[in-house]
Amino acid sequence: MDTLISLVNRIQRACTLLGDHGADHASASLWESLPSVAVVGGQSSGKSSVLESIVGRDFLPRGSGIVTRRPLVLQLHRIEEGLQDYAEFLHLPKKRFTDFSMVRKEIEDETNRMTGKSNQISPVPIHLSIYSPNVVNLTLIDLPGLTKIAVEGQPESIVQDIENLIHSYVDKPNCLILAITPANQDVATSDAVKVSRQVDPAGERTFGVLTKIDLMDRGTNALDVLEGRSYRLRNPWVGIVNRSQEDINRKVDMIAARQREREFFTSNSDYAHLASKMGSEYLARILSKHLESVIRARIPAIASFINRSIDDLEAELAHLGRPVSVDAGAQLYTILELCRAFDRVFKEHLDGGRPGGDRIYVVFDYQLPAALRKIPLDRHLSLQNVKSVISEADGYQPHLIAPEQGYRRLLESSLNYFKGPAQASVDAVHFVLKELVRKSIAETEELKRFPTLKGEIAAAANEALERFREDSKKTTLRLVEMESSYITVDFFRKLPQEVVNKGGNPAPASVDGDGHFQRIGSNVLSYVGMVSETLRNSIPKAVVHCQVREAKRSLLDHFYTQLGKKEEMQLAQMLDEDSVLMERRQQCAKRLELYRSARDEIDAVCWSG
Ligand code: GDP
Ligand code: MG
């Protein structure tokens, strides 16, 4: 049976090492699944005295006002008869205290370390283990006493702060409440009973402790309370006689005090019939027994909590990834893996599976055709303009045949307009690709840990996109220039000839007036329309060829080449981990280890029955 409680003791200490303590509501902690006993009551109700007499040693700080300003988690460990008592603090792992007055001093000092000398309180518990042949295995939590008003040096909120702190322990359904009430006070006004009633209305996990029975007025007794008539609890009330202040001043020792307490109950005719169920020793025994049964009942829940935590931690660790290796080969390998992970995500964006790649087709299907339509050919091929270009190129004299130079100039200048939409398509696709790189970097889970490498991959990818853009620009411009360099003369030959004489000679153009120039304008317009149709198809091909296909094939090629030349140091720098994540991984690993050993311990206890 004792193994059960020492198991809980071990797990509780693990919780504090992990920074998990009862008052921390933020995370469902292991602590919260463990049973414990909290001592609750008004100031000077006798809490410290009860704790000390359960332990059988004087070691708690005393004084007026709130002396207990941090929770004290007191773990009692029974050791073999004849061995020397000693105490240990969790915050002073290697120090054994055999002088208990030094324990008291350390509690005071450690309280002040956290709260300063002010009368402030802190929810961070002090852990104290006491090893003694005279105790039973038990975990007790001493809490600041409930108070009604703030005193010197305390904020007004202190009354509420203390109540909140107490509630952070006693609200938990697996916390047993040691409700300390002084017998010389009406039980109806007891602070401890009030708290217990709030959180444990059925009285199932409350132990009523009536102190100061020796201080009751002559002619009165505590039987109404002790026999459950005043306030009924599941577990019977236990009456206690602690040392009075005078006893303390006279240094009456604990053994003598216990002896006197026993005598008080056996020799007092009011209480003799209850004597075997009164006193601090009895209280310690029933508490321990009760705690054991509670723990036993809770083992499955604790085990499943631990297993769940282990699963969560393992999943988180897998998510955070393995620690980075130190040798250059492995680092290079890791970097390449990460690049590939990014590349995979990027390709999914382009090939479907992830959104965004379709934006490229919006460029080809809508933006490019719209830009082509907007080319101001009507204005450029207006009668006025055609006339002036032709007369400038071929002179004002009547042409024998079609004005060759004028045609060419009109065609070239019209085709020049296509450079704009061609470049705009290149740029638009460039920005789509750039955005996809940004998205892919953000979406590559594996990269999250490595801000430096993330930055380098982003820079390398953008640099590559810039190169592809230049190449694409050259290619698409070349397509446009090619259209100007060689005109498909056949196109014009097939056009209906203008005013041709029966003999086959063209009539002098001048005779024709404006109609002649209008026809030239419309001939050029239909030629340019044909070219526009061609470019509408060939520009996307060039853009996909130079930018999209290259991005898919060789986005990081240049980066890879450079990687090969890097020194070990530089590789390590690229893998500089995000410090927050690194810390988180270490924390997870530490917790995991603790939970795993807790699981092993529970398994062992379950098997030993
Ligand atoms: P706490 O503030 O609740 O921790 O109360 P203490 O344990 O410090 O007790 C306050 C005072 O009441 C001390 O002077 C104790 O000696 C005294 N006291 C506590 N319990 C008893 C008791 O059962 N009988 C007598 N006579 N005095 C007691
Ligand atoms: Mg006290």
Residue pLDDT, tens place only, 192-229: 999 999 999 998 899 999 999 999 988 899 999 999 88
Burial 246-270 (b: 16+ CB within 10 A, else e): eeeeeeeebeebbeebbebbeebee
Query: Predicted confidence band at 3 (pLDDT cuts at 50, 70, 90)?
Result: low
DSSP letter at 120 equals -
Nearest-angstrom CA–CA distance, 176 and 187 = 19
Chain segment 399-427, per-residue pLDDT in tens: 667 788 999 999 999 999 999 999 999 99
Q: What is the pLDDT of residue 134?
A: 74
- For residue 499, pLDDT over 80 is answered with no
Distance 135 CA to ligand 2 centre (A): 20
Q: What is the pLDDT of residue 420?
A: 96
Tokens 């009633």 map to which residue? 197
Better pLDDT: 394 or 10: 394
Q: Give Cβ neighbours of residue 56 (< 8 Å, ≥ 6 apart).
A: 132, 134, 135, 254, 255, 258
Q: What is the pLDDT of residue 165?
A: 92
φ, ψ for residue 279, nearest 5 deg: 95, 160
Distance 63 CA to ligand 2 centre (A): 8
Mean pLDDT, residues 370-384: 95
Q: What is the pLDDT of residue 17?
A: 58
Of 225, 252, 229, the closest CA to residue 239 belongs to 225
SS3 content of the chain, % helix, strand, coil (to 5): 60, 10, 30
Query: Predicted confidence band at 369 (pLDDT cuts at 50, 70, 90)?
Result: very high
Mean pLDDT, residues 584-597: 85
Q: What is the pLDDT of residue 32?
A: 61
- For residue 504, pLDDT over 60 is answered with no
Asked if 552 and 429 touch (Cβ cutoff 8 Å), the reply is: no
Better pLDDT: 99 or 30: 99
Q: What is the pLDDT of residue 323?
A: 76
**Under DSSP, is residue 210 helix (H, G, I), strand (E, B) or coil?**
strand
φ, ψ for residue 59, nearest 5 deg: -155, -5
Map out the domains of the chain with their CATH numbers.
Answer: 2-317+597-608 (3.40.50.300), 328-576 (1.20.120.1240)
Mean pLDDT, residues 35-39: 85
Q: What is the pLDDT of residue 364?
A: 97
φ, ψ for residue 233, nearest 5 deg: -125, 160
Distance 279 CA to ligand 2 centre (A): 19
Mutation test residue for ligand 1: of 244, 246, 268, the one with most atoms within 8 Å of CB? 244
Tokens of 410: 């009109």
72-78 vs 126-132, strand pairing mode: parallel
Q: What is the pLDDT of residue 506?
A: 46
Percentage above 90 pLDDT, the chain: 50
Query: Predicted confidence band at 107 (pLDDT cuts at 50, 70, 90)?
Result: very high
With a 6 Å cutoff on the Cβ, whether 43 touches ligand 1 is: yes
Q: What is the pLDDT of residue 305?
A: 81
DSSP letter at 354 equals S
Q: What is the pLDDT of residue 498?
A: 56
With a 6 Å cutoff on the Cβ, whether 240 touches ligand 1 is: yes
Distance 51 CA to ligand 1 centre (A): 11
- For residue 501, pLDDT over 50 is answered with no
Distance 190 CA to ligand 1 centre (A): 15
Q: What is the pLDDT of residue 13?
A: 62
Q: Whose CA is nearest to atom 22 of ligand 1?
A: 212
Ligand 1 atom nearest residue 183's Cα = 23
72-78 vs 138-142, strand pairing mode: antiparallel
Q: What residue type is 247 in one-letter code?
A: D
Q: Measuring CA to CA, how many Å separate 402 from each of 16, 286, 411, 469, 519? A: 98, 120, 14, 41, 11
Distance 262 CA to ligand 1 centre (A): 17
Better pLDDT: 598 or 573: 573
Mean pLDDT, the chain, rounded, equals 86
Of 93-102, 151-160, 533-542, where does mean pLDDT reach its minimum? Answer: 151-160
Q: What is the pLDDT of residue 86?
A: 93
- For residue 579, pLDDT over 50 is answered with yes
Mean pLDDT, residues 52-70: 76
Q: Whose CA is nearest to atom 23 of ligand 1?
A: 212
With a 6 Å cutoff on the Cβ, whether 147 touches ligand 1 is: no
Ligand 2 being an ion, which residues bring their Cβ within 5 A of it? 48, 67
Better pLDDT: 598 or 2: 598
With a 6 Å cutoff on the Cβ, whether 129 touches ligand 1 is: no
175-182 vs 206-211, strand pairing mode: parallel
Ligand 1 atom nearest residue 247's Cα = 16
Q: What is the pLDDT of residue 309?
A: 86
Ligand 1 atom nearest residue 241's Cα = 23
* Residue 77: strand pairing partners: 131
Distance 191 CA to ligand 1 centre (A): 16
- For residue 436, pLDDT over 60 is answered with yes
Asked if 527 and 440 touch (Cβ cutoff 8 Å), the reply is: no
Q: Measuring CA to CA, how many Å separate 330 from each of 49, 334, 336, 390, 568? A: 63, 6, 10, 72, 10
- For residue 248, pLDDT over 90 is answered with no
Query: Predicted confidence band at 582 (pLDDT cuts at 50, 70, 90)?
Result: confident
Q: Which-ligand-closest: CA of 179?
A: 1
Residue 391 buriedness (CB in 10 A; 0-12 / 13-18 / 19+) = middle
Q: Please tell me the total number of residues recorded for the chain in this structure.
A: 609
Distance 76 CA to ligand 1 centre (A): 21
Residue 552 buriedness (CB in 10 A; 0-12 / 13-18 / 19+) = middle
Chain segment 297-343, per-residue pLDDT in tens: 777 877 888 888 899 999 998 888 777 777 888 889 999 999 999 99
Mutation test residue for ligand 1: of 39, 40, 43, 44, the one with most atoms within 8 Å of CB? 44
Q: What is the pLDDT of residue 414?
A: 96
pTM: 0.55
Nearest-angstrom CA–CA distance, 243 and 18 = 38
Q: What is the pLDDT of residue 19?
A: 54
Query: Predicted confidence band at 34 (pLDDT cuts at 50, 70, 90)?
Result: low
Percentage above 70 pLDDT, the chain: 89
Q: Whose CA is nearest to atom 9 of ligand 1?
A: 46
φ, ψ for residue 558, nearest 5 deg: -65, -40
- For residue 479, pLDDT over 50 is answered with yes
Q: Which-ligand-closest: CA of 43?
A: 1
With a 6 Å cutoff on the Cβ, whether 145 touches ligand 1 is: yes
